Amino acid sequence: MSEPSAPGPLLEVEDLAVHFPITQGILVNRTVGHVYAVDGVSLTIEKGETYGLVGESGCGKSTLGRAILKLTEPTRGSVRFDGRDIAGLRGEELRRARRRFQMVFQDPMSSLDPRQSVESLLQEGMKAHGLTGGHARLQELMDAVGLPKGALRRYPHEFSGGQRQRIGIARALCVDPDLIVADEPVSALDVSVQAQVLNLLSRLQAELGLTYLVIAHDLAVVRHVSDRVGVMYLGGLVEEAPAGDLYTDPQHPYTRALMSAVPLPDPEIEDRRERILLTGDLPSPAAPPSGCRFHTRCPWKQPDRCASERPELRQLDGAAAGHRVACHHAEAIRDGRIQPHKVEATAIDDAAGMPVGAPEHAASVNEILGR
């Protein structure tokens, strides 16, 4: 904010990929395969915008967020932050650059040091970046995130879940960042508290001109806070749209299924709603399906290109600006020229094409990596 910034988007991610090796062996670790956690994602985030990333567990959304901040080393691709490539930064240079992009984690209890008071937690980051953290500045931060005056002298365990998340936000804010990546910022909170934190995030954005990348599994939350939403499936973006259009005009079959699966707190709508029930489970990211990643579960799958050619994100005729979809048959599906058919759930398993040691149905990348 305080820094003069280059014109153009704040963040440009191009063809970013993160592949985790699966290793085996006792003395010498051999690589027997890869988990394709993120596999070729490109996106841009404008200044002052909120970009929401949504997807189910194991789709790579958190890994993507971490790779953007260089908390995980990307396998390939570039990340340009404010016109400068940060994928190549190392050591001291990277540490200094990090002041401008901060992260808010899901579980504030495990991301805050239990033995530091809030004041010392906040000052640690500010000192590391050579900022003077006067008491007045800290007090101002506490006010901004809606914590009581005495909070600075207290320790994380003395706060409730919602208040801890406010501390997590204050910790990110204290170094005056431009971009905040929030990974599941409200999913550990109760509904009534969740709303408080969401309201706080949008108020801070309006006041401080922040740019957000919000990562969450809850489509309603993501859509609520975001200007644009990207939907991820198995390591790739399948659709990207302005938040309003996503519900009114979902174009990718996966987005449609995801939308229809989210329960609405309204019995009248629920009784009338048609659900697109997907059969089966997410395939393992260690052995992603060929072609379109979604073709094994897609009710609109066609025999021609779906299984052989991976679709790129593209804009349909007549779609809103910035609404892109990665599906070969998106027009035909939209116009009703292709009708959905029943998909038999297949028991995805057995060693066929699967690296040894990876669970057949991995619910998450962590499960595959066994940590």
Nearest approach in angstroms of CB 289 to another protein is 16
Judged by DSSP in three states, 360 sits in coil
- The C-alpha atoms of residue 349 and residue 106 are separated, in whole angstroms, by 31
- Token look-up 């406010």 returns 166
Eight-state DSSP code of residue 132: -
Nearest approach in angstroms of CB 262 to another protein is 5
160 binds another protein (CB under 8 A): yes
214 binds another protein (CB under 8 A): no
Nearest approach in angstroms of CB 254 to another protein is 9
Look at the chain and count its residues. Answer: 371
271 binds another protein (CB under 8 A): yes
Nearest approach in angstroms of CB 197 to another protein is 9
- The C-alpha atoms of residue 43 and residue 15 are separated, in whole angstroms, by 9
Interface residue with another protein, options 89, 131, 243, 369 (CB under 8 A): 243
* Subset of residues 25 to 64 that bind another protein, contact rule: CB under 8 A: 56-57
Interface residue with another protein, options 22, 167, 278, 292 (CB under 8 A): 278
Q: Which helix (H) or strand (E) holds 35?
A: strand 30-45
Nearer to another protein, 108 or 125 (CB): 108
140 binds another protein (CB under 8 A): no
- The C-alpha atoms of residue 85 and residue 76 are separated, in whole angstroms, by 13
- The C-alpha atoms of residue 137 and residue 142 are separated, in whole angstroms, by 9
Interface residue with another protein, options 138, 258, 298, 325 (CB under 8 A): 258
Burial (CB count within 10 angstroms: exposed 0-12, middle 13-18, buried 19+), residue 129: middle
Nearest approach in angstroms of CB 92 to another protein is 39
Nearer to another protein, 21 or 161 (CB): 161
